[in-house]
Chains A and B, each alone.
Chain A
């Protein structure tokens, strides 16, 4: 009888601890999510009233009320395009090679180990590398091109990893069917593997660009200016061939650097500008990430092999 009582007490105690732990788990999750919410709300309360049309078409200024983010968002936009052009072909090609072509040997193992480790390398060291290599050795200057290349290399692992995941999800029957029709390896990749994995690759591209748009430290390190009151050279002009790439070599600033600059001033009016820039940045990254999550779940549902 006593043993029975002991057992019941023991079960009660363990059930209680089980419940306590579940509660802790819930609290941990809530704490993280509430912090995120507090961050968004705090930023929005200060920043949203400051956002108006002029904020987007004005250059930075000594007067907080007149200052805007024109040069910053144009800079962010140009750098995003450069980053995408640099990272997407390289990353997708690397992912395709590692999934479809590479044999199990020490080179492919080295490459794989290296990609895992790149995720842990602090982003600021990419900036130091770019300052030494792109700015001084290759004489590209503190330009949009340098910034785009730097961020391109920084997000390369993200694109490689998501490309590989997307390709790995394609069953082997597809490849075999393609080979059975007499297709070569490249034809299989080109007409089957790449189209079927494009959804997953797109998710990776969106996530990597949202990461690039928020990166600040490597761009400060390569010497981005914090006060820019002009725009890059327009890419279209009246003379033949009507297109030029001079803008690639222009100096730049980006939204996170502009925000940092305003944030490091003592006057609270500039902090309001920083908050407004933060709202724009946050909105863009959240929309991009939300889109990526939506795409991922949609493709996962749609793909039934």
Chain B
């Protein structure tokens, strides 16, 4: 009797754990299934090469490129803020700051990740953009630049926390060996600790990239929701995520081409995220072999 109960409980707990796999299967499955009808209307070639994305207009075009350029542009801006800031902050926290201060500073930094993204959108639209307009007068009221910068600050804790964990788990005898041959703290950080923690730092970057690619509200609020094939960050543009929000805000009949188009957009986003994750995995593998 008791053994039966134990078995039953174990099965229930296993099902709970397995449900997390079902979530992934559900997401991928639904995105694929709902996207398939889209490609009955639109050829794959048109999807990848057309330079306009206007699925809800009379004269509809279905080229993903403008959304892709918007997504990549905002991600690149965000990363050029988050990676230097996050890495330097992580090295500083791990190698320079005494533990009692670190215990205080790290949670403070992590609060940045706790702020709701819609609040960051407010900040980008009504604080950062007016500020930047004083420096760049031609800056449009909606622009990718301020959205990208704000996303960058938002993902600093994702980059710095994981990087710092990785750096701190580097064994101390490596540092001591480096100090013993006369290296300064900075040389130790750059030539010993960071290379040794490379694998963990790469994971941190990949998580940061995933967050930046999938960030929605900041770009939907501050970047203007206009699909625009451009690499000029001072202009408005739409990301894949912003397009999904824009369409979802309207009335969307199930099965219409608009409905299918948000699934295609979502699937593209997922594939894009997956690509960066694979690159990260490959980088980690490659580096680990060298050790």
Contacts and interface: CB of A to CB of B under 8 A. Distances in A.
A264 B111 contact: no
A269 B122 CA distance: 14
A interface secondary structure, majority: helix
B76 interface: no
Contact of B116 (A97, A125, A216): A216
B67 interface: no
A28 B241 CA distance: 29
B93 A43 contact: no
Nearest to B212: A122
A114 B244 contact: no
B266 interface: yes
B75 to A, nearest CB: 12
A111 B110 CA distance: 27
Contacts of A195: none
Contact of B21 (A33, A111, A256): A111
A51 to B, nearest CB: 15
B10 interface: yes
B121 A28 contact: no
A64 B112 CA distance: 30
Interface stretch (B51-59, B169-177, B181-189): B181-189
B197 interface: no
Interface string B243-262: 01100110010100000001
A210 B23 contact: no
A214 B120 CA distance: 11
A186 B6 contact: yes
Contacts of A136: 254
Contacts of A120: 206-207, 210-211, 273, 277
Interface in B5-57: 5-6, 9-10, 12-14, 16-21, 23-24, 26-27, 30-31, 33-34
Interface of B: 2, 5-6, 9-10, 12-14, 16-21, 23-24, 26-27, 30-31, 33-34, 84-86, 88-89, 91-93, 96, 103, 105, 107-112, 114-123, 125-127, 153, 156-157, 184-187, 189, 206-207, 210-211, 213-217, 220-221, 241, 244-245, 248-249, 252, 254, 262-263, 266, 269-270, 273, 277
21 contacts: A18-B184, A21-B185, A32-B157, A33-B109, A35-B153, A36-B112, A38-B127, A94-B19, A101-B14, A107-B18, A121-B270, A125-B31, A157-B20, A186-B6, A210-B114, A214-B114, A215-B116, A217-B216, A217-B241, A221-B244, A260-B220
Interface of A: 14-15, 17-18, 21-22, 24-26, 28-29, 31-33, 35-36, 38-39, 42-43, 46, 89-91, 93-94, 96-98, 101-102, 107-108, 110-111, 114-115, 117-129, 131-133, 136, 153, 156-157, 160, 184-186, 207, 210-211, 213-217, 220-223, 226, 256, 259-260, 263-264, 271, 274-275, 278, 281-282, 285-286, 288-289, 293, 297
